[in-house]
């Protein structure tokens, strides 16, 4: 759905911007919730909510009924608490001892990936006269963070001894759930079940179990367990080419700019740094105020495309820090015409997968790479569009 120009009453606003449909994000969450049935849904909003804007997206997820939020860093979680969000927040990343008082003051849920870290958390909570909320992290085959599945009983035993820690959850993370071959993902799930059987064998209540990321949600319904953690799926984008979308989700983000300058480039006159593009005939060229300083990859030089007046046009020459040049050939464009870098215009669409293919990367990086200097504009589609605000990326 096109965005009304009423969203941008201030013409002094930078024309290069990201538009985020909060209504679509809420609908994506509901589609995921319907798909996973009784499992809870933790909305993953790390990395500036995959480029969509941490605080506004987190508020929308809470409004739409997320059971919790997931972030990578303490700093992300603190920003959310300072923004008034009281929903449970799990921090996935590792922790330093000096950070523990901050975690506890903000009532954040910590990841305990080892006996040593669990003991540190217990000591910090005891010193502050409080109880820390913790999820135990099990490495079932990612080799990134967490105690190995074959050593996990030590951590689970230790979690029964600590006195100032409440173990709310236990989790792992898939390495290959977005692949066509799911044998490794199923092996990870089997290992996770073996670890969690510790509780049943001792007639103990089992903490909340979770392992399903976006790909697990789509491809491994048996992995949904007590809680799922949608990341890129929440933003309406497929985890990989091998893992297509099977839910009624849709992208909520568009990246746009406008034509800032028009010229005719003569034959034999190269364009941009390094003179890597030159035409043998006159062409119409426009300059667009976006570049790798905004997160528009330099790797898109001479490869990327944009939409102008509903038509695809290629980037000519190298992407500059703040600008790109676009070859219209003999097409038409005028100053302030809308340029779509990511999203739809007319019948055409440029997807995160398109940008990723042209740049030789993945859609996750395309979204999270959009720089904080690009303003975010928020609106909501519910049969009509309503402008909410223009905010910096965080």
Active site residues: 46, 273
Measured CA to CA, the distance from residue 91 to residue 171 in angstroms comes to 12
| Token pair of 145 as six digits | 């963070």
Measured CA to CA, the distance from residue 208 to residue 165 in angstroms comes to 15
Packing angle, helices 74-82 and 54-63, rounded to 10? 70
Q: What is the DSSP string of 322-370?
A: S-EEEEEET----TT-EEEEEEEETTEEE-HHHHHHHHTS-HHHHHHTS
In the three-class reduction of DSSP (H, G, I as helix; E, B as strand; rest coil), residue 116 is classed as helix
Q: Say which residues have a Cβ less than 8 Å from residue 278's Cβ, sequence separation at least 6.
A: 268, 269, 270, 271
Q: Are strands 147-148 and 132-139 parallel, antiparallel or unpaired?
A: parallel
Give the H or E element holding residue 19: strand 17-21
Q: Are 352 and 367 in contact (CB under 8 A)?
A: yes
In the three-class reduction of DSSP (H, G, I as helix; E, B as strand; rest coil), residue 166 is classed as strand
Measured CA to CA, the distance from residue 108 to residue 72 in angstroms comes to 12
Per the document, the length of the chain is: 394
């Amino acid at each position: 759905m096109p965005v009304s120009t009423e969203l941008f009453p201030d013409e002094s606003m930078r024309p290069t911007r990201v538009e985020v449909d909060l209504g679509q994000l809420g609908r994506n969450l509901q589609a995921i919730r319907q798909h996973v049935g009784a499992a809870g849904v933790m909305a993953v909003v790390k990395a500036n909510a995959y480029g969509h804007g941490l605080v506004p997206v987190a508020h929308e997820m809470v409004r739409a009924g997320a059971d919790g939020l997931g972030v990578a860093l303490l700093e992300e979680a603190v920003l959310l608490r300072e923004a008034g969000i009281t929903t449970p927040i799990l921090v996935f990343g590792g922790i330093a001892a000096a950070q523990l008082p901050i975690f506890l003051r903000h009532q954040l849920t910590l990841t305990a990936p080892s006996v040593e870290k669990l003991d540190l958390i217990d000591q910090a909570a005891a010193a502050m006269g409080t109880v820390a909320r913790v999820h135990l992290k099990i490495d079932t085959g990612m080799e990134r963070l967490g105690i190995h599945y074959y050593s996990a009983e030590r951590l689970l035993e230790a979690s029964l001894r600590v006195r100032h820690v409440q173990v709310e959850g236990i989790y792992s993370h898939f390495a290959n759930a977005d692949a066509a071959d799911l044998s490794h993902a199923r092996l990870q799930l089997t290992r996770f079940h073996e670890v969690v059987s510790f509780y049943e064998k001792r007639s103990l209540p089992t903490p909340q179990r979770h392992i399903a990321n976006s790909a697990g949600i789509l491809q491994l319904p048996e992995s949904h367990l007590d809680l799922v953690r949608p990341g890129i799926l929440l933003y309406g984008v497929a985890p990989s080419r091998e893992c297509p979308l099977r839910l009624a989700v849709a992208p909520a983000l568009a990246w746009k700019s406008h034509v800032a300058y028009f010229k005719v480039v003569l034959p034999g006159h190269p364009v941009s740094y390094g003179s890597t593009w030159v035409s043998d005939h006159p062409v119409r060229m426009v300059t667009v105020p976006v570049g790798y300083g905004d997160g528009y990859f330099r790797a898109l030089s001479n490869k990327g495309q944009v939409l102008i007046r509903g038509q695809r046009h290629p980037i000519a020459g190298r992407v500059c820090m703040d600008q790109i040049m676009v070859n219209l050939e003999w097409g038409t464009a005028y100053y302030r015409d809308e340029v779509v870098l990511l999203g739809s215009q007319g019948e055409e669409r440029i997807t995160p997968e398109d940008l990723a293919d042209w740049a030789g990367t993945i859609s996750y990086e395309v979204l999270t790479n959009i720089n904080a200097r690009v303003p975010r504009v928020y609106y909501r589609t519910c049969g009509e569009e309503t402008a909410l605000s223009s905010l910096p990326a965080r």
